C-alpha cells in the first residue's frame, strides 16, 4: 500500500535524476524522498515494499508499467517452464495471488505476485520450455491504468513464443546446409529417385541437388546421367566406377534401414539437473564406500506389531529413524561441504522416483519425530512429488540421503552423494539366509557412499557399526513410539480392534 501511495513521488524523482538504471534510480528517489517529509513508519514500510519487489520478480518502470521476470526459485535453477497461467490478461491481481505455475529443475512451484495491480500482457505463453531466469514473461500496470494500451518493451521481442517441438528442431537442422560430400538425407529421397539412382548406379553425393533442403530430385539424376553419358546398369551387375570429376569426397557407408533407428526424447529440467549434479559429484568428489549386512528380523517383527495395532509404516520409514539414531552418535557424518565442514540438525533426503525423474524431498528434523510422524511425512512428500507439487523448501537442503531400491528386487547397489551433501545410504532388498546358529536370518545389504574430504574412514566405519546395531535392535524407544500423542493414538486403534 505504501509503495502505491508514494509511487507518483518516485516517478517525479526518477525523472529528475534520470541517468542511471531503473533500480538504482528507484532507490535514489527513495533516499531523496526520505530526506524530505516521509514519516518514519511509512518510510520504513515503503523501503521494505520496494526491496521485496526488487528481490523477487517485479521491476518498476517510469510509466506505471511493471515488468514480471522469470524468478529463480531454487539455488540451482537457471531456466524454467511456465506450466500454466493462473490469471488472464485484464485480471485484477492482489498481493499474494498466484500468477502462474513454473516447473523448476526440482518441482512445479506457484509464483506469487507481490503487489496489487492488473495483468496487462502475457509475453510467454503456457508450456514454454527453457525460459531463462530473468527473462521478461509478463507486464502489469497499476489499478485504474489502461492495461490495453501497454506497449511491449523492445528487449522482449526475442522472448520465445512457444515450446520447441522435436519436429521443429529436426526441421531446423535439416534446413541447415548439408555437410560437404553429401546432399540432404536419404530419408528425404522419394522411391522414384531411388529407382533412377539405382538404375544408373549413382550415389546421392554424385548428383547436384535442386530440391528443397538439398534434396536430390528425379530430374537431377537424369540430368547427371545425360551430362556424363552414363548408361543404365543391368540388374545384378556392378555399377561403373565414377569419374574423378564426379566424386567430390568419399562418403561414409549409410544405413540401409531406411527409417531412423532412434527416437529423440525430450529431457525434463529435473533430469537435466540430476545429470549435471551427478556428473559434478562423480568428477569432483573423492568417493569412498563401505558395506554392511544387517539382520532385519527384529525390525520386521516390530513392523508387524505396529501393523497389528493398526499402524502402517514402511521398512523405509523404520530405516530413516535408524539412520537418524546412528547419526546422533556420529554427528560428523551428517554434514555439508562448502570448502569446509558444516553441520546442523538431521534432515534426511528420501529418493522418490517420479515420471520426470528422481527427486529427493526432505524429512526435516528427524530427531524430533517418531516413526509414525516420519511415515506420514514421507507419504505426503511422495504424493506431492508424484504430482509435481513440491515447494522449494521441501527439496532444498538436507544433510543426508537414503535411496532404497529393495522393493524393486535390487540386492545391492551404489549411490552417489549429491553436493553439498557428503553422504548417502543405498539400501538393497532383503534376502533369507541361514545363520551360523542354523536359524533363519533376513539379511539386507546397505552400502554407504561418502565424500572422503569431509568424512574420515574411521568415522564411516563407526557409523556403519552403530547403524547395524540400531537396525538389529529396533524397539519402541529407539523408534520414538513412546511419544505421548502417537502412543495414545496407537493404543486407541489397538483397543478399537
Query: What is the rounded average pLDDT of the residues 434-456?
Result: 90
| Contacts (Cβ under 8 Å, ≥6 apart) of 447 | 289, 290, 291, 412, 413, 414, 415, 425, 426, 428
Cα 37 to Cα 62: distance, rounded to the nearest angstrom: 22
Query: What is the rounded average pLDDT of the residues 151-161?
Result: 63
**pLDDT tens, 390-415?**
888 888 888 999 999 988 889 999 99
Query: What is the rounded average pLDDT of the residues 247-264?
Result: 55
CB atoms within 10 A of CB 73: 21
> What is the reported pLDDT for 491?
61
> What is the reported pLDDT for 381?
93
> What is the reported pLDDT for 465?
96
Q: Between 35 and 334, where is the model more confident?
A: 334
pLDDT, the chain, mean: 75
Q: Between 309 and 10, where is the model more confident?
A: 309
- 3-state percent helix, strand, coil for the chain, nearest multiple of 5: 35, 20, 45
> What is the reported pLDDT for 495?
66
Query: What is the rounded average pLDDT of the residues 420-439?
Result: 89
Cell of 349: 533426503
> What is the reported pLDDT for 202?
80
**pLDDT tens, 110-142?**
788 888 889 988 998 888 888 888 889 999 988
In this predicted structure, the answer to whether residue 168 has a pLDDT above a threshold of 80 is no
User: What domains are there in the chain, each with its CATH number?
Assistant: 2-156 (2.40.50.100), 191-236 (4.10.320.10), 286-496 (3.30.559.10)
Q: Which of 414, 423, 471, 476 is nearest to 444 (CA)?
A: 471
| Contacts (Cβ under 8 Å, ≥6 apart) of 292 | 445, 446, 448, 464, 465, 467, 468
Cα 157 to Cα 448: distance, rounded to the nearest angstrom: 51
Q: Which residues of 229-239 are buried (b: 16+ CB within 10 A; e: fewer)?
A: ebeeeeeeeee
In this predicted structure, the answer to whether residue 237 has a pLDDT above a threshold of 90 is no
**pLDDT tens, 281-313?**
999 999 999 999 999 999 999 999 988 888 899
**pLDDT tens, 22-66?**
443 343 333 333 433 444 333 333 333 333 333 345 555 546 788
Q: Which of 265, 5, 338 is nearest to 143 (CA)?
A: 5
**pLDDT tens, 338-393?**
877 777 789 999 999 888 788 899 999 999 999 999 999 999 999 988 887 888 88
Amino acid at each position: 500500500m505504501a509503495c502505491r501511495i508514494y509511487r507518483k513521488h518516485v516517478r517525479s524523482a526518477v525523472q529528475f535524476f534520470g541517468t542511471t538504471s531503473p533500480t538504482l534510480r528507484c532507490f535514489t528517489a527513495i533516499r531523496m524522498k526520505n530526506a524530505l517529509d516521509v514519516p518514519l513508519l511509512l518510510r520504513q514500510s515503503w523501503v521494505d515494499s520496494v526491496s521485496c519487489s526488487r528481490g523477487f520478480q517485479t521491476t518498476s518502470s517510469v510509466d506505471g508499467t511493471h515488468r514480471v521476470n522469470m524468478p529463480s526459485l531454487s539455488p540451482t535453477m537457471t531456466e524454467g517452464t511456465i506450466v500454466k497461467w493462473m490469471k488472464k490478461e485484464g485480471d485484477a491481481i492482489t498481493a499474494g495471488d498466484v500468477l502462474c505455475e513454473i516447473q523448476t529443475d526440482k518441482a512445479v512451484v506457484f509464483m506469487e505476485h507481490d503487489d496489487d495491480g492488473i495483468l496487462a500482457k502475457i509475453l510467454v505463453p503456457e508450456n514454454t520450455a527453457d525460459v531463462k531466469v530473468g527473462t521478461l514473461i509478463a507486464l502489469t500496470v497499476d489499478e485504474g491504468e489502461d492495461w490495453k494500451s501497454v506497449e511491449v518493451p523492445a528487449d522482449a521481442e526475442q522472448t520465445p513464443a512457444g515450446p520447441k517441438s522435436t519436429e521443429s528442431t529436426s526441421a531446423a537442422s535439416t534446413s541447415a546446409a548439408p555437410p560437404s560430400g553429401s546432399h540432404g538425407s536419404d530419408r528425404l529421397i522419394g522411391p522414384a529417385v531411388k529407382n533412377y539412382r539405382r538404375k544408373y548406379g549413382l550415389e546421392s553425393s554424385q548428383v547436384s541437388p535442386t530440391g528443397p533442403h538439398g534434396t536430390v530430385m528425379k530430374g537431377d539424376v537424369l540430368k547427371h546421367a545425360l551430362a556424363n553419358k552414363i548408361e543404365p546398369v543391368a540388374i545384378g551387375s556392378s555399377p561403373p566406377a565414377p569419374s574423378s570429376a564426379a566424386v567430390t569426397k568419399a562418403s561414409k557407408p549409410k544405413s540401409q534401414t531406411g527409417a531412423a533407428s532412434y527416437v529423440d526424447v525430450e529431457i525434463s529440467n529435473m533430469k537435466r539437473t540430476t545429470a549435471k549434479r551427478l556428473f559434478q559429484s562423480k568428477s569432483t568428489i573423492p568417493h569412498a564406500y563401505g558395506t554392511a549386512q544387517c539382520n532385519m528380523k527384529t525390525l520386521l517383527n516390530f513392523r508387524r506389531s505396529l501393523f497389528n495395532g493398526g499402524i502402517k509404516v514402511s521398512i523405509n520409514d523404520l530405516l530413516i529413524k535408524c539412520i537418524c539414531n546412528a547419526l546422533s552418535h556420529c554427528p560428523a557424518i551428517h554434514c555439508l561441504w562448502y570448502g569446509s565442514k558444516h553441520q546442523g540438525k538431521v534432515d534426511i533426503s528420501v529418493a522418490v522416483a517420479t515420471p520426470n525423474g528422481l527427486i529427493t524431498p526432505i524429512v526435516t528434523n528427524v530427531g524430533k519425530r517418531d516413526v509414525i510422524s516420519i511415515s506420514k511425512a514421507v507419504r505426503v512428500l511422495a504424493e506431492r512429488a508424484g504430482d509435481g507439487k513440491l515447494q522449494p523448501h521441501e527439496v532444498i537442503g538436507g544433510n543426508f540421503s537414503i535411496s532404497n531400491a529393495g522393493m524393486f528386487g535390487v540386492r545391492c547397489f551404489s549411490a552417489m552423494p549429491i553436493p553439498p551433501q557428503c553422504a548417502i545410504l543405498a539400501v538393497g532388498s532383503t534376502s533369507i539366509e541361514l545363520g551360523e546358529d542354523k536359524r533363519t536370518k533376513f539379511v539386507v545389504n546397505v552400502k554407504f557412499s561418502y565424500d572422503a574430504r569431509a568424512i574420515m574412514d574411521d568415522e564411516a566405519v563407526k557409523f556403519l557399526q552403530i547403524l547395524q546395531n540400531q537396525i538389529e535392535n529396533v524397539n519402541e524407544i529407539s523408534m520414538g513410539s513412546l511419544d505421548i500423542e502417537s502412543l495414545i493414538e496407537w493404543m486407541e486403534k489397538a483397543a478399537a480392534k
